[in-house]
Amino acid sequence: MRFILALLLILASNSAHADAPSLPWQKWEPALFERAAAEDKYILLHMAAVWCHWCHVMERTTYKDPAIQKVIGEKFIPVRVDQDRDPELSYRYENWGWPATVMLDKDGNEIFKRRGYIPPELFLKLLAAVIEDPSALPGFTVGAAVDPDAVALSPQRRTDVEALVLKSFDKDNGGFGDTHRFIHGDTVEWALERGRALQRNGETASWHDVSAKTLDGARRLIDPVWGGMFQYSDRLDWSGPHYEKLLNIQRDAIRAYVLAWQIDGDPANLIAAKDIARWLMDFMQSPDGAFYTSQDADAGPDLHGDVFYARTDAERRAGPQPPIDRNTYARENGWAIASLVALYDITGDPALLDAARRAFAWTLANRRAPNGGFGHSRATDDDTHLGDTLAMAEAALALYRSTALRPYLAIAVELGAIIVRDHRDLAGGFPSGGFIVRQPEPGARGVLAKPVKQLDENVAVTRLLNLLARQTGKPDLRDGAEHGMRYLISLAEDGFVVPGALLADRELSREPAHVTVVGAKDDPAARALYDAARTYPTRYLRIEWLDRSEGALPLSDVDYPDMPEAAAYACANGACSVPVFAPADVHRIVAKVDDR
């Protein structure tokens, strides 16, 4: 009944205000605060997304209500921000969901924050309350103080985090928590890796059940016609999809299904990965090779996703379609590249690798800023963000794994050093460690003058820097990984459930699986060995191809003998295998030295 009443209210309001003018939305910039002080106004920040259904509803109803427009015009400066376009601001308020409504005073202090759709009647009351009592919300600090020398979780904290993840697991439907259902890459990867390690040791299969049931349920979010995965389900059995298709969802899903297939060989996981990638390849590539950002849930205000996506391919193409956000961001391109090459590693489909390499070349040429990092939407220093440089570093390292072309590794190492240089949090106090999204804008005030650390990015940076250090022996990269780990420890000590911290902690404490193919790159036998090596089931892999015509490896910590034919070796954790010459033997020798 409540849903029906809410729907009637939306439809009535939409009809009443459909022809009303839009608010005079302003651009987000530091000068807003000077204007707010001069005009004695507050700042109303409306954070939305191109793909966000409820953002569109709020803009057609609440923000077109004449009474609301009158109050905003008198006491507020209205600012609309596309959250995909501004990562630093997006990460600051991502926990509030989209649309996010934030009201700030002239000094940048937060007065009010609210997530999701706000109907007109409630919004008017909130505006009045802010005008009557504009006191700032109390601050909130994330992270506990930790030993500045600590670079690993304590055994008890590892146990506690694992227990909390398992406690949140839905044994009936898969997934975690008691609200939305979606694939979170770090959580599923930990379950897959942990389950594999335990099964190898003959222990409980509980973690295998976690990943299997979650990935099985998530298949219900894959569009059966066009491919791609919808953002999430608001029903616990995965049957209530929200139809937006976002690049980060595709990345996490493809990599999870690829790793699951590598571990258990279930063809359903390979089919799922291919179906998700099909949408990227068919719908999201620009003519010049870059990848677009997202696809909306709805084909218009009168054609919602539940109706549109129930149609056949011919029916969909015959009329209006959900619009695609054709912005080309460095971060989203890095996500697409890394996921496509992961699928290439197990399929050998050259179209996937070609698409990834084209996107990488385009992003390198069009988004690399003068300072060496990657701009989000333009190649300028003032648009560089941690996420863009990080995603492109991960993409470069993934391409190196797939191709053994050393220039990709060189770019990844260079970007890792730039991340340490430009994004390392050097501020004193606690929580210590970690990497910030970017330096605050000049003139930023209040809460906006405080740098933002995004959790998933800090997990990814820590893991990336550690793997780069393992492949190159560079101490500054290892130091950067430990710096990131301190922040993850502080969150875990503060009671946050951070599955990615388990992955980072485990990787920092041991060498990666390490396989080297020795032979000429134009030798089909050496190629076959390398193709087998890159399918080894883990992302934590040091894989190299020693063609002596290219000179020494980036880290020459093992002397490999000359052999009369191409050979593969596995060396890690103080042990090396005998050489093998058949692709079928590669996984066997790597598994023997892979300390799980």
Q: What is the pLDDT of residues 363-398, one digit of tens each?
A: 999 999 999 999 999 999 999 999 999 999 999 999
Among residues 428, 435, 447, 356, the alpha carbon closest in space to that of 395 is found at 356
With respect to residue 140, please indicate whether it lies within any of the assigned structural domains: no
Same domain, 111 and 233: no
Task: Enter the pTM of the model.
Answer: 0.85
More confident residue, 463 or 571: 463
- Hey, what are 145's tokens? 């103080």
Quote the number of domains for the chain: 3
Is a pLDDT exceeding 50 seen at residue 13?
no
Q: For residue 441, what pLDDT is reported?
A: 79
Q: For residue 95, what pLDDT is reported?
A: 66
Residue the block writes with tokens 């090459």: 341
Q: For residue 307, what pLDDT is reported?
A: 97
pLDDT tens digit sequence for 478-507: 999 999 999 999 888 877 778 899 999 999
Same domain, 58 and 189: no
With respect to residue 436, please indicate whether it lies within any of the assigned structural domains: no
Residue span of the structural domain in which 517 resides? 513-593
Q: For residue 109, what pLDDT is reported?
A: 85
End-to-end CA distance of the chain: 52
With respect to residue 344, please indicate whether it lies within any of the assigned structural domains: no
Average pLDDT (114-124) is 85
- Asked if 480 and 419 touch (Cβ cutoff 8 Å), the reply is yes
Alpha helices, H only, 169-291: 185-200, 206-218, 247-264, 267-283
Q: For residue 477, what pLDDT is reported?
A: 98
Q: What share of the chain is helix, strand, coil (3-state, %, to 5)?
A: 50, 10, 35
Residues belonging to the chain: 596
78 DSSP β-pair partners: 44
Query: Collapsing DSSP states into helix, strand and coil, what is residue 453?
Result: coil
Is a pLDDT exceeding 70 seen at residue 61?
yes
Q: For residue 146, what pLDDT is reported?
A: 62
Is a pLDDT exceeding 60 seen at residue 138?
no
Find the CATH number of the domain harbouring 48.
Answer: 3.40.30.10
- Hey, what are 367's tokens? 């988004």
Same domain, 228 and 264: yes
Same domain, 90 and 186: no
Chain centre distance of CA 182: 13
Is a pLDDT exceeding 90 seen at residue 90?
no
Is a pLDDT exceeding 50 seen at residue 12?
no
With respect to residue 343, please indicate whether it lies within any of the assigned structural domains: no
Where a domain ends, among 78, 100, 132?
132
Q: What is the mean pLDDT of the chain?
A: 89
Percent of the chain with pLDDT over 70: 91
Q: For residue 141, what pLDDT is reported?
A: 52
Same domain, 90 and 200: no
Q: For residue 159, what pLDDT is reported?
A: 92
Same domain, 279 and 163: yes
With respect to residue 205, please indicate whether it lies within any of the assigned structural domains: yes
Same domain, 311 and 176: yes
pLDDT tens digit sequence for 268-299: 999 999 999 999 999 999 999 999 999 999 99
With respect to residue 314, please indicate whether it lies within any of the assigned structural domains: yes
Same domain, 128 and 159: no
Where a domain ends, among 327, 352, 378?
327
Q: For residue 135, what pLDDT is reported?
A: 60
With respect to residue 145, please indicate whether it lies within any of the assigned structural domains: no
CA atoms within 13 A on the CB side of 282: 11
Same domain, 171 and 304: yes
Q: For residue 112, what pLDDT is reported?
A: 77
Is a pLDDT exceeding 70 seen at residue 15?
no
Which whole-number Å values give the CA distances from 172 to 57, 85, 209, 253, 411, in the listed order? 34, 38, 11, 21, 45
Q: How far apart are CA 74 and CA 61, in angstroms?
A: 19
Q: Which range, of 19-23, 220-224, 256-260, 589-593, averages the lowest pLDDT?
A: 19-23
* 152 CB burial (10 A radius; 0-12, 13-18, 19+): middle
Reported in sequence order, the residue ranges of 435-535 that DSSP labels E, i.e. its strands, are: 513-518
Average pLDDT (508-526) is 95
Same domain, 180 and 305: yes
Same domain, 108 and 170: no
Is a pLDDT exceeding 80 seen at residue 144?
no
Chain centre distance of CA 306: 26
Q: For residue 244, what pLDDT is reported?
A: 96
Same domain, 182 and 316: yes
With respect to residue 308, please indicate whether it lies within any of the assigned structural domains: yes
Work out whether the CA dihedral 254, 259, 262, 265 comes out positive or negative: negative
Q: Which range, of 3-12, 159-168, 254-263, averages the lowest pLDDT?
A: 3-12
